[in-house]
């Protein structure tokens, strides 16, 4: 489904699921008026960006859901790296990063028996359209590349990569997905501050575990497993 404007493509996907739309259905909007990010944050969604939601029905144990976020991040990174040769990386739990700034994000939500994979990429987005408060943390592919990309081409390749990596997921090749994600991640080994509803933890991001959780070695030497479902706020040196 192609829309000039949506409130949130994830909400459109929920409407389609309620109307029994099938797995693989994709909602794409040219802009969003109420784009949503993690932790109830607003996702600024002007013309030029990619805003899409994919409906999946993987019938899996809930413990594997975080892998779907890593899977989507891998598909985004493969696409953008392949098309631009930019140094595209990922940050736990759901960020797409270029030049230490956020260029995209994933918002996975469950609804009825489905999973909605919401992907936002600041593609040809003019950075002046972001609020001043976000300017230091946000970038776009166009800004980093110094040129626009054909949005339709990027979406087509991204959906092809999603097909490939989702096939790996359905084959239960979670370890391969995690390893690929880890290879794209620059935050491992560096100092991080994690805030959850239950407190603040500081230490080194050591690895990502088999459930997609961040393994943190605290400055006190203790190993903690942090799950993104615990509404975590993650701060690294840059973003």
Residues that bind ligand BTN in the complex, under the rule CB under 6 A: 8-10, 32, 35-38, 41, 43, 51-53, 94-95, 105-107, 118-120
Kindly tell me which of 75 and 119 has the beta carbon lying closer to ligand BTN: 119
Burial environment of residue 153 by CB neighbours within 10 A (0 to 12, 13 to 18, 19 or more): exposed
CB atoms within 10 A of CB 208: 22
CB of 208 to ligand BTN, least distance (A): 17
CB of 232 to ligand BTN, least distance (A): 12
Residue nearest to ligand BTN (CB): 105
CB of 118 to ligand BTN, least distance (A): 3
CB of 128 to ligand BTN, least distance (A): 20
Quick one: which of 184, 159, 163 has its CA closest to 81? 184
CB atoms within 10 A of CB 238: 15
Kindly tell me which of 32 and 79 has the beta carbon lying closer to ligand BTN: 32
Kindly tell me which of 44 and 173 has the beta carbon lying closer to ligand BTN: 44
Query: How far from 136 is each of 13, 103, 190, CA to CA, in Å?
Result: 31, 12, 20
CB of 168 to ligand BTN, least distance (A): 22
CA 92 from centroid of its chain's CA atoms: 9
- Sign (positive or negative) of CA dihedral 38, 43, 49, 51: positive
Kindly tell me which of 43 and 166 has the beta carbon lying closer to ligand BTN: 43
Kindly tell me which of 27 and 177 has the beta carbon lying closer to ligand BTN: 27
Both tokens assigned to 119:
């992907």
DSSP 147: S
Both tokens assigned to 5:
């404007």
CB of 12 to ligand BTN, least distance (A): 8
191: cis peptide before it, omega within 30°?
Answer: no
CA atoms within a 13 Å half-sphere pointing along the CA-CB vector of 33: 6
Kindly tell me which of 61 and 133 has the beta carbon lying closer to ligand BTN: 133
């Amino acid at each position: 489904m192609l829309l000039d404007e949506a409130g949130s493509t994830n909400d459109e996907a929920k409407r389609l699921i309620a109307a029994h739309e099938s797995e693989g259905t994709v909602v794409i909007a040219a802009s969003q008026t109420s784009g949503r990010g993690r932790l109830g944050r607003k996702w600024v969604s002007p013309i030029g960006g990619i805003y899409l939601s994919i409906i999946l029905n993987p019938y899996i144990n809930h413990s594997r859901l975080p892998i779907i976020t890593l899977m989507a991040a891998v598909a985004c990174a493969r696409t953008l790296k392949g098309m631009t040769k930019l140094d595209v990386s990922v940050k736990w739990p759901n960020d797409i990063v270029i030049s230490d700034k956020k260029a995209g994000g994933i918002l996975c939500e469950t609804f009825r028996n489905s999973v909605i994979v919401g992907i936002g990429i600041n593609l040809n987005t003019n950075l002046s359209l972001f609020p001043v408060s976000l300017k230091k943390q946000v970038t776009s592919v166009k800004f980093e590349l110094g040129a626009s990309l054909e949005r339709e081409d990027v979406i087509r390749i991204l959906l092809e990569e999603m097909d490939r990596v989702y096939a790996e997921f359905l084959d239960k090749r979670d370890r391969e997905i995690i390893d690929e994600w880890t290879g794209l991640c620059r935050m491992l080994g560096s100092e991080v501050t994690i805030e959850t509803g239950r407190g603040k933890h500081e230490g080194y991001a050591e690895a990502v575990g088999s459930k997609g959780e961040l393994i943190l070695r605290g400055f006190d030497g203790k190993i903690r497993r942090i799950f993104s479902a615990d509404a975590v706020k993650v701060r690294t040196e840059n973003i």
